[in-house]
Amino acid sequence: MGRALYLTSGSTDIGSLVSGSPRPACFGEDFVQETGVRNKAFGADKFGLKNLKAVHWNLTEAPLYEHAIAAGEAKIVAGGALCAETGHHTGRSPKDKHTVVDALTEHSVWWGGNRKLSQEHFDNLYQDFLAHCAGKTLFAQDLYGGANATYRIRTRVYTELAWHSLFIRTLLIRPNQFELENFAPELTIIDLPSFRPDAKRHGGREGSDTMVAIDFTRKIVLICGSSYAGEMKKSVFTTLNFYLPAQGVMPMHCSANVGPDGDSALFFGLSGTGKTTLSADPNRTLIGDDETGWGPDGIFNFEGGCYAKCVNLTHENEPQIWDATNRFGAILENVVFDPLTRAPDYTDISKTENTRSAYPLESIPNASRTGCAGHPKNVIFLTADAYGVMPPIAKLTPAQAMYHFLSGYTAKVAGTEKGLVGVQPEFSTCFGAPFLPRPPAEYGNLFRKYVAEHKVDCWLVNSGWTGGQYGEGRRMPIKATRALVTAALDGSLKNASFRTDPYFGFAVPTSVPGVEPHLLYPMKTWKDKAAFDKIARNLVKMFQDNFVKFENDVDADVRAAAPEVRLAAE
């Protein structure tokens, strides 16, 4: 059995502090200062790290706060959250993610959506990472990716920033002390924002200061050049996405909750569509807000925390997220706050619109303590349609569900990404293309199999715009979206009368209690009906053009489920 190390920071005689240990933990002949708890048999030397100044193992919130503040990494804001800035990287860098090509990945990875990296380039990067760490203090967390013990991956994450260590500790699942004392990692991630890759030596993009390199064979992820903490959690998700399909588990970029009768639901959607907001329902138990597995036994959360967008966050609209964000232990990213009162200003997007809050699941009063639930009865596809032409909710046939799952549509608006002007469509297959190492059809076929086996009802929900496109119309009222989702989940919506949408072909309810009637008829919310017709037809064409790449991999009924203008405008 491994034994925990309880070491005191700053001691010159570390070995004397460990009962029964004749000498301090060391790598080669170099003394390394260590604090915290770990498996004695699995130190940093197992990863090749040498000549470190110190390693802080599995520190909890309070000491990580202290380290982050002492190093000038972050500040405490009113309410108790730790607020940090991520520099010029205020989001992920998907173009800088690379996967090693070897015997395992050459014929199994979807190279149409993943960048290749040679083994030689990865080895150069790995060795340079180890050299870069010499003399540094690192923070290490031993965590689980996956609530289901059968499918989870034991993950060790090394970071050079204390607040990054707190972030990943919050977002993954935290073992108990006995488990830490016996923890043997399968996946190792090392995150070094201060390291700058060299494109020629390391195989990254020319001119880029950032790189995420994944070796699925050795189960190593190297992240450098970016202080955006979300890269770490998405690397765990990507790894699970590679290994789980072979075990009959569908890894999904979705949130999940479960009702009092055990009726679970999945919420798919890209960033900003409402996955976190809509799954945080006070009348249902939260399973997780971003990454979920669906296997033979039901669904399970991959994470131990939530990562919510907090732009325009208010207690009135999102009370659970508000309370979880404004407390000790939460981490805020790029949130502007008053320098005197330290009160966060969630309306200020001068740093980025992608302001974020990370907090543990325990901060949500009705969050599941197991992270697991039975097979879902409902699947919700969320889209923030900035063109303002899609209805607020629609019922999908199984073939339509497969079509929209592979399409993964939403729309981006100016301000969400550097250089983005106006409205642009985004089609991210399976609602998570940047995280899919395998061909989309593998995930699509698993999804369709489980939907059919468990007779799941599928819905498309537009949480975006109505009455005009972005800049002209208004955002779909959150109360209306909640009412429609609630009606779908409690089964009452299935009893409504439906019409066939003339542009997209899916079934739209004609009336729903508590929802403004005209919202269910998108054209009626527009003053300029001709403009609506033109934009709706253009969006239909975008769907059709995007789906061409999948047509050879799906059945005829899925191809026939494509949007097509069937009737004259309403």
Kindly list the catalytic residues. Answer: 92, 234, 253, 271, 275-276, 290, 356
Could you tell me the sign of the dihedral formed by the alpha carbons of 329, 333, 337, 340, in that order? Answer: positive
- In terms of residues, how long is the chain? 570
> Cβ of 559: how many Cβ atoms within 10 Å?
14
Q: Note the Cα 93 to chain centre separation in Å.
A: 13
329: left (phi over 0), alpha (psi -120 to 50) or beta: left
Residue pair 480/420 in contact by the 8 Å Cβ criterion: no
Dihedral, CA of residue 414, residue 543, residue 90 and residue 461, to nearest 10: 90
Transcribe 177-202 into DSSP letters.
HHHHHT---SEEEEEETT----HHHH
Strand order from edge to edge, sheet including 220-224? 33-36, 54-57, 137-145, 153-159, 187-192, 220-224, 211-215, 97-100, 115-117
Q: Are 358 and 167 in contact (CB under 8 A)?
A: yes
CA separation for the pair 235, 223 (Å, rounded)? 9
Using DSSP bridges, classify how beta strands 376-383 and 372-373 pair: parallel, antiparallel or unpaired: unpaired
CA 409 to chain centre: 17
Determine how many CB atoms are found less than 10 A away from the CB of residue 162.
Answer: 25
Pairing status of strand 33-36 against strand 54-57:
parallel
Which of helix, strand or coil describes residue 26?
Answer: strand
Contact 189, 203 (CB under 8 A): no
Of the CA atoms within 13 Å of residue 158, those in its CB half-sphere come to 27
- CA dihedral sign of residues 249, 250, 254, 258: negative
- Which position has the token pair 């708890």? 37
Strand partners, 143: 155
